[in-house]
Protein backbone atom coordinates (compact mmCIF):
# COMPACT_ATOMS: atom_id res chain seq x y z
CA UNK A 1 0.00 0.00 0.00
CA UNK A 2 2.86 2.38 0.81
CA UNK A 3 4.45 1.82 -2.62
CA UNK A 4 1.14 2.65 -4.27
CA UNK A 5 0.98 5.97 -2.39
CA UNK A 6 4.58 6.77 -3.37
CA UNK A 7 3.91 5.92 -7.01
CA UNK A 8 0.73 8.02 -7.03
CA UNK A 9 2.52 11.00 -5.43
CA UNK A 10 5.34 10.70 -8.00
CA UNK A 11 2.80 10.46 -10.83
CA UNK A 12 0.95 13.60 -9.67
CA UNK A 13 4.20 15.52 -9.23
CA UNK A 14 5.28 14.56 -12.75
CA UNK A 15 2.00 15.76 -14.21
CA UNK A 16 2.31 19.11 -12.41
CA UNK A 17 5.90 19.57 -13.62
CA UNK A 18 5.01 18.73 -17.21
CA UNK A 19 2.00 21.07 -17.15
CA UNK A 20 4.10 23.87 -15.68
CA UNK A 21 6.78 23.51 -18.36
CA UNK A 22 4.17 23.60 -21.12
CA UNK A 23 2.55 26.68 -19.57
CA UNK A 24 5.93 28.43 -19.37
CA UNK A 25 6.57 27.73 -23.06
CA UNK A 26 3.15 29.12 -23.90
CA UNK A 27 3.89 32.21 -21.81
CA UNK A 28 7.17 32.83 -23.65
CA UNK A 29 5.44 32.49 -27.02
CA UNK A 30 2.64 34.80 -25.85
CA UNK A 31 5.21 37.38 -24.71
CA UNK A 32 6.85 37.37 -28.14
CA UNK A 33 3.47 37.60 -29.87
CA UNK A 34 2.57 40.56 -27.64
CA UNK A 35 5.76 42.32 -28.74
CA UNK A 36 5.12 41.65 -32.44
CA UNK A 37 1.57 42.98 -32.08
CA UNK A 38 2.85 46.06 -30.25
CA UNK A 39 5.26 46.85 -33.10
CA UNK A 40 2.49 46.46 -35.67
CA UNK A 41 0.32 48.97 -33.79
CA UNK A 42 2.93 51.40 -32.41
CA UNK A 43 6.18 50.90 -34.32
CA UNK A 44 9.61 49.46 -33.57
CA UNK A 45 10.99 52.49 -31.71
CA UNK A 46 7.98 52.59 -29.38
CA UNK A 47 8.50 48.94 -28.38
CA UNK A 48 12.22 49.42 -27.88
CA UNK A 49 11.47 52.34 -25.56
CA UNK A 50 8.83 50.40 -23.59
CA UNK A 51 11.09 47.39 -23.08
CA UNK A 52 14.09 49.48 -22.07
CA UNK A 53 11.88 51.47 -19.67
CA UNK A 54 10.98 48.16 -17.98
CA UNK A 55 7.27 48.30 -18.86
CA UNK A 56 5.76 45.48 -16.74
CA UNK A 57 3.74 44.46 -19.80
CA UNK A 58 6.96 42.94 -21.14
CA UNK A 59 8.34 41.48 -17.87
CA UNK A 60 6.40 38.76 -16.08
CA UNK A 61 8.45 37.12 -13.36
CA UNK A 62 11.50 35.59 -15.01
CA UNK A 63 9.94 35.74 -18.50
CA UNK A 64 10.77 38.95 -20.33
CA UNK A 65 10.89 40.21 -23.89
CA UNK A 66 14.11 41.43 -25.46
CA UNK A 67 15.03 42.38 -29.01
CA UNK A 68 18.03 41.65 -31.18
CA UNK A 69 18.89 42.79 -34.69
CA UNK A 70 19.76 40.08 -37.27
CA UNK A 71 23.45 41.11 -36.97
CA UNK A 72 23.38 40.11 -33.28
CA UNK A 73 23.17 43.55 -31.62
CA UNK A 74 20.73 43.74 -28.70
CA UNK A 75 18.51 46.82 -29.02
CA UNK A 76 16.18 46.28 -26.06
CA UNK A 77 16.58 44.42 -22.76
CA UNK A 78 14.46 45.13 -19.65
CA UNK A 79 16.60 43.21 -17.15
CA UNK A 80 20.18 44.02 -18.13
CA UNK A 81 20.53 47.42 -19.82
CA UNK A 82 24.31 46.90 -20.09
CA UNK A 83 23.60 44.50 -22.97
CA UNK A 84 21.91 47.17 -25.12
CA UNK A 85 24.01 48.03 -28.16
CA UNK A 86 26.26 45.00 -27.72
CA UNK A 87 26.92 42.14 -30.08
CA UNK A 88 28.06 39.10 -28.14
CA UNK A 89 27.91 36.46 -30.85
CA UNK A 90 31.44 35.35 -29.97
CA UNK A 91 30.66 34.93 -26.26
CA UNK A 92 29.57 31.38 -25.32
CA UNK A 93 27.38 30.31 -22.42
CA UNK A 94 28.84 28.56 -19.35
CA UNK A 95 29.04 25.27 -21.27
CA UNK A 96 30.83 26.78 -24.28
CA UNK A 97 27.76 26.88 -26.53
CA UNK A 98 27.54 29.81 -28.96
CA UNK A 99 23.77 30.04 -28.54
CA UNK A 100 23.53 33.60 -29.87
CA UNK A 101 24.88 32.38 -33.21
CA UNK A 102 22.28 29.62 -33.09
CA UNK A 103 19.56 32.25 -32.50
CA UNK A 104 20.71 34.24 -35.54
CA UNK A 105 20.90 31.12 -37.71
CA UNK A 106 17.44 29.94 -36.61
CA UNK A 107 16.01 33.39 -37.32
CA UNK A 108 17.55 33.38 -40.81
CA UNK A 109 16.59 29.83 -41.77
CA UNK A 110 13.25 29.15 -40.08
CA UNK A 111 12.12 32.50 -38.70
CA UNK A 112 11.08 31.06 -35.35
CA UNK A 113 11.78 28.30 -32.86
CA UNK A 114 13.52 27.41 -29.60
CA UNK A 115 17.19 27.59 -28.56
CA UNK A 116 18.53 25.97 -25.36
CA UNK A 117 21.52 27.22 -23.34
CA UNK A 118 22.60 28.18 -19.79
CA UNK A 119 22.09 31.68 -18.43
CA UNK A 120 21.85 33.58 -15.14
CA UNK A 121 18.25 33.74 -13.92
CA UNK A 122 17.56 37.33 -12.76
CA UNK A 123 15.05 36.11 -10.17
CA UNK A 124 17.04 33.27 -8.55
CA UNK A 125 20.49 34.77 -9.33
CA UNK A 126 21.61 31.27 -10.30
CA UNK A 127 23.05 29.84 -13.52
CA UNK A 128 20.21 27.78 -14.99
CA UNK A 129 19.12 25.96 -18.10
CA UNK A 130 17.14 28.29 -20.32
CA UNK A 131 15.07 27.78 -23.44
CA UNK A 132 14.33 30.87 -25.53
CA UNK A 133 11.60 31.24 -28.11
CA UNK A 134 12.64 33.45 -31.02
CA UNK A 135 10.61 35.01 -33.80
CA UNK A 136 12.02 37.12 -36.64
CA UNK A 137 9.87 39.92 -37.99
CA UNK A 138 11.34 42.37 -40.47
CA UNK A 139 14.62 43.62 -38.99
CA UNK A 140 14.06 42.39 -35.42
CA UNK A 141 14.42 39.10 -33.58
CA UNK A 142 11.94 38.94 -30.70
CA UNK A 143 13.08 36.72 -27.82
CA UNK A 144 11.51 35.48 -24.58
CA UNK A 145 12.94 32.63 -22.55
CA UNK A 146 11.94 30.29 -19.81
CA UNK A 147 14.26 29.11 -17.05
CA UNK A 148 14.22 25.40 -16.35
CA UNK A 149 16.36 25.18 -13.22
CA UNK A 150 19.83 23.72 -12.77
Q: Which residues of the chain have pLDDT under 50?
A: 3-22
Instruction: Find all residues with CB under 8 Å of 29, minimum gap 6, and list them.
Output: 133, 144
pLDDT at 2: 54
**CATH number for the domain harbouring residue 101:** 3.30.450.20
pTM, two decimal places: 0.82
Number of alpha carbons in the 13 Å side-chain half-sphere of residue 123: 12
pLDDT at 150: 72
Calculate the alpha carbon distances from 89 to 74, 97, 113, 124 in Å: 10, 11, 18, 25
pLDDT at 42: 98
Question: For residue 47, what are the domain limits?
Answer: 2-147
Pairwise CA distance, residues 59 & 36, whole Å: 15
pLDDT at 125: 86
Q: Please state the domain count of the chain.
A: 1
Amino acid sequence: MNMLKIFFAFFLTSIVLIATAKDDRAEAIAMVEKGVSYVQKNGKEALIKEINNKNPEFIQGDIYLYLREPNGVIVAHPVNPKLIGKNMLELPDADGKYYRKEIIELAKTKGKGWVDYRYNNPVTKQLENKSTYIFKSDDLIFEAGIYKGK
